[in-house]
Each structure stands twice: as structure tokens, then as C-alpha cells.
Structure 1
């Protein structure tokens, strides 16, 4: 079972690990800082002992590192993992922004986003109904006002469900195993990038301001 360090500290970007198994370009270690791709989050990339990491693959309780080439390592040796922090931080900010917007749509306008996704073009909220631009702009305004004020985020285990949950400011708590920023100030300004209809879903795309 791979120890998932990113669940304990999403800001940890470098760590030494022990190699447990090697299968060609795939390597298994006892722990990792790299998160696999999910529908809500883009998977991490970085360097595995100096070799470009293409991504990680979850197989049961184990996380395998998919490398650009075969490593010059032996089982039992140590390897240095280095996260592509810029990509991880962008994911943290977009993922937090998505949930924040979804909760504002729900609380203030009774509009329910049933699917949240992130890809290379931005972050997307999917609804079963069309939402007018005025409502979208109001939600963005409320979100950006909250971001300017800031609010620390502290995930917790819900006593009723036993699952990881989180509160963003005054918004209702929600369950999510994903990764979040420490304070919503880190999100930066959220902007509306466009809307679309696809497979019966109304899709709103947002982005966050770039950081240096």
C-alpha cells in the first residue's frame, strides 16, 4: 500500500523514497507526492530521480510511477521525487475555485453543479439546466469578494459519514477527497471563460489569474 503524502500535505514538493519494484518504465515506491489524474483534478508530473515523470497510475492500493525511460535504479535504493509545483499549484487553485463556485450557485441560487472537471483549458462546472449570464456574473462577484477577504481551509473528517469534508467561508460543508489551497486568497481572481452545451449539459468554464 503506497503512502499518499499529498493527502497529508498538498504543498510538499520534494521527498526521498525507497524503490519497492521496477517493471520496465514503471516504478513502485513505499510513498509518493504525486497525485493521479481524476475527473476533478489533473494528475501531477515532475521528476523521478531526474527522469521525467509522465504521470502516476493507481492500481488497487498502490501508486505506480510512469517514467519517460527505464530508471538506472535497483530495488531497495532511494530515489528523489520532485513535483512540478507550478502545475500542482494551478490545480489546487482551480479545484478550490470550482467547489467554491458550486457551493455559491447552490446556496444563493438553488443551481446545482453535478459534475466538476479540470483540464488543460480550465475548470468546468456542468449543470442540467442553462444558467443566464447575469446569475453567473453574480456568483463570480460573490466568489471574488470572498477571495479578497480570505479564509483558511481546514479539511476534517465528518463524524456522521466518516469522510473527508471541508468548509469554505460561510458556505455549507461538502465532502471531497481532493486537494485544496490553505487559504482562498491564494486562488486569485476567478474569471468567466465561456459557456457551452454538450451531451445535454450546460457547461461553464472558468479560470484563475496566473501567478509568477
Structure 2
């Protein structure tokens, strides 16, 4: 990948300048970006790219191993030009809160039931996660309710979220560093680690809040049985 991922260094970057590397129609690759491209179950970031007096609505995507910025029209700029990127911050920040909440919930369910995530999605409005927890739906709902109650108690402790990098081999020796049932981290020499001290430690490349108190209150929206190994929890944050 040619693009430096600014959100992995600082998830709170809302505006940035970058040099244009490539333009194909209305698709643009930059030398750096704060736009998350929608990998890892998070809905891709949207916002604007500005060049001189032109403002382009933008949605990020992941194509061919690159972060691609899809503009609402073919741009007037060309490779080598410098543009300004601006995130839709309200949507990004809600995803950050939900993403950090998801880490706490997955840690609680892993600790209680050895449950792994078998699927998930995070939008600005809500998140959903599938867990390979078994039992009748009354039992599963109770398990989710208790996990959310514990996650809320943890969030209100105001724990600082740590971000750092470890060699892949070293990181994969840590118990529970991967909580996805059927997916390993990318085959790269260094893995980005997101740690909520005393609660959770996971390999993760996406944006998070700095302190768990920013999450707010996690609330269950719905619980579904999607089949064996897929008990689905929909939730949001207030």
C-alpha cells in the first residue's frame, strides 16, 4: 500500500493535506489519508476533498490493496497536486465509540464463554456482532444483557486506550489477541495492537477513542438467532 494511514497514528485527525499519487476517473489515491477504507467491519469514512475552490464529496474504499477515495465527479487536480481532506467527523466519532465498545464486549464474552466473533459490522448508527455462543435464545439474551452491563461498568472506569505495534510473531503469542473465529490479521511484519489495560488486547487496524468513558452507554437494540455459531447482537451507544 502506498498510502500512509493517518488514523492508525491518531484517530482524531479530522483534516489533513496530502499529495495526489494517482487519478483514474473519479478515483483518487493519496500519499496519506485519515479516511478509513471500510476494512475490518467498519463502514467506510465519508467527507470531502478540496482543491483550490473545488469541493468533492468523497467516500473511501479498499481496492487492489490500496485506499481509494471515490469522488462525486472527476477532479480537476492531477498527480503531484496537494489537496485537503476533511472527514465527516460526527459519523467517524460515533464509529470510534462503537468500535471501542465492541472490543470491550468481545473481551467480556470471550472471558465468560470463550466466545469468538464470527461476523460483524459497525455503522455510525449501530453495530452488530455475531458470536459463536450456544444455547436457547433466552439463555443467549441473558448472556448478552449481562455482558453489556459489565461492558458499561468497564467503560465508565475511564480507562486510557493504548495503541502500539508489535512484531507479528510476538503479537500472535498473546492469548486472545485475535478474537475473530475465522480470520487472522494481515500477513505483515508488524501488527497494530489496541489495548484496554486490564480488559482487552487485540490486533486491530481501525480507529478508536482515547478513553473508554467516551463510549457513553451501550444499549442493546436486538438479539437474533442466525444459526449455529451465529447469535447476533445489535447495539448502539448513547
TM-score by shorter chain over 0.5: yes
> Do the aligned residues in 2 keep the contact of 1:47 with 1:82 (CA within 8 Å)?
yes
Of 138, 155, 159 in structure 2, the residue corresponding to residue 151 of structure 1 is 159
Once the two structures are superposed, residues 111-154 of structure 1 have per-residue CA deviations (whole angstroms, 9 ceiling, x without a partner) of: 33333322465211212324532222211111111111210011
> Do the aligned residues in 1 keep the contact of 2:140 with 2:231 (CA within 8 Å)?
no
Q: Following TM superposition, by how much is the alpha carbon of 1:197 offset from its aligned partner in structure 2, in angstroms?
A: 2.1
Residues matched between the structures, number = 208
Q: Does 1:95 align with 2:81?
A: no
Residues in 1 aligned to 2:56 and 2:37: alpha-carbon distance in whole angstroms: 18
Residue of structure 1 equivalent to 2:203: 175
Range moving further from structure 2, 158-167 or 98-107: 158-167
Residues in 1 aligned to 2:191 and 2:79: alpha-carbon distance in whole angstroms: 35
Q: How does 1:42-53 map to 2 (within 5 A)?
A: 42-49=43-50, 50-53=55-58
Considering only aligned residues, what root-mean-square deviation do their CA atoms show, in Å?
Answer: 1.9
Q: Does 1:77 align with 2:77?
A: no
Residue of structure 1 equivalent to 2:37: 36
> Do the aligned residues in 1 keep the contact of 2:56 with 2:72 (CA within 8 Å)?
yes
> Do the aligned residues in 2 keep the contact of 1:36 with 1:58 (CA within 8 Å)?
no
Residue of structure 2 equivalent to 1:122: 126
Residue of structure 1 equivalent to 2:214: 186
Residue of structure 1 equivalent to 2:231: 202
Residues in 2 aligned to 1:93 and 1:108: alpha-carbon distance in whole angstroms: 23
The normalised TM-score by structure 1 is: 0.89
Listed as ranges, the gaps of 5+ residues in structure 1 are: none
Once the two structures are superposed, residues 25-66 of structure 1 have per-residue CA deviations (whole angstroms, 9 ceiling, x without a partner) of: 112221111111124211100001111003333322x32211
